[in-house]
Every structure is written in structure tokens, then in C-alpha cells.
Amino acid sequence: FIEAKQALKTCGQRIVNDYLDEFFKAKNFQKVKEAVYLFRSATLFQKRVEDYKINLEIPSHYTNDYNTLLDVYLEDVYTKALQLLSEEKFNEAEVLFKEVSLLKPYYRDVDDLQNVATFEPKYRTAVSFLEIEKFRAAYYEFNKIPDSYKDTKTLQKIALEGGLLTISLM
């Protein structure tokens, strides 16, 4: 299928070039988020075509521009997520931390902060159930949290012991 591979290379390169043209425009108009995602689309398309042993070219100056824009964008999103976390808007912060970890998985301490944004509301709910002696509800909430998060394991044992019922048969 030599002709098909040549056609895929030609058409694929056009598609990548269209993404790169749009990336360049977005970069020049200071649309950082749009530029980052356009370049990401170009690289994802390039990787899909590589499955067919076809190499599509992305010039290095585009990659350098992308890395610069990515750092700027990640810093902005990370700062917003930290602000939301400090305001205890956990759901919004979790979404932003997921975006950061998608774009750059090992960016600073994003994994730890994402865990806080994900598990802290559940932890607080479980603790409040424990305080009002709804042991079973607290136990099930603690089940949704990893044992390594804060003192979840200890509090889950307390909830389990408090939620046990003794039944005797006569």
C-alpha cells in the first residue's frame, strides 16, 4: 500500500501544518490556552499517524514556542487552582489540577494537591458524620478515601467499631 502511505503522509502533513498555522496565529494574538491545545492536537495527530510508520514533521521552533507557552499557561492555571484550593472550592480546583497534570504530569506537586482537592471534601463529610455519631455513613465515606490520606485509616476503624450492632438470638 505504498500509494496509500504516500497519500497519508501528504494529507497528514497538511493537517499538521494547519494545526501549526492556527497555533502560530493563536500565539501571536496572545491566546495562550488555545495555542497550547492546538499544538497538542498537532502532536497527538502526529502520534496517531506514526502507528502506520509515517513520520510527520513538526519544526523545532514550534516546539520551542510551545514549551514556552506551556510554562506560562501552567503557571497561570496552577496559581488559579491554588487560589481556589485556599478558598475551599475543591471541585473547581480539582478540575484545574487535572488539566495541569494532563498537560505536564510531573509539574511541581500537582499530584498531591489534586489528591487534596479530590479527597478533602469527602474526608470532611466523613468526619462530620463521625462527630454526629452516624458511624455507618462515616465508614462508607472513609471507604471512598485512600488509607494514606491524613488519618483516614484510624478514623475508619473508629467508625466501624461505633457502627457495629450486637444481635443476640434467643
Q: What is the dihedral of CA 67, 68, 72, 77, to 10 degrees?
A: -10
- Round to the nearest angstrom and report the end-to-end CA distance of the chain: 81
Would you say 63 and 97 are in contact if contact means Cβ atoms under 8 Å apart? no
The pLDDT assigned to 11 comes to 96
Question: According to the model, what pLDDT value does residue 24 have?
Answer: 97
Question: Rounded to whole angstroms, how far apart are CA atoms 11 and 119?
Answer: 46
pLDDT at 18 over 90: yes
Q: What is the DSSP string of 141-161?
A: HHHTS-TTSTTHHHHHHHHHH
Q: Per this entry, what is the length of the chain?
A: 170
DSSP structure class, residue 57: P
pLDDT for the residue numbered 1: 80
> In this predicted model, what pLDDT tens digit does every residue of 112-164 receive, in sequence order?
999 999 999 999 999 999 999 999 999 999 999 999 999 999 999 999 999 88
pLDDT at 168: 78
Cell 438470638, residue located: 169
Distance (Å, rounded) from C-alpha 53 to C-alpha 88?
A: 48
CB under 8 Å, gap of 24 or more: what pairs does 3-8 form?
5/52, 5/53, 5/54, 8/49, 8/52, 8/54
Cα–Cα distance measured from residue 65 to residue 81, given in angstroms and rounded to the nearest whole number: 24
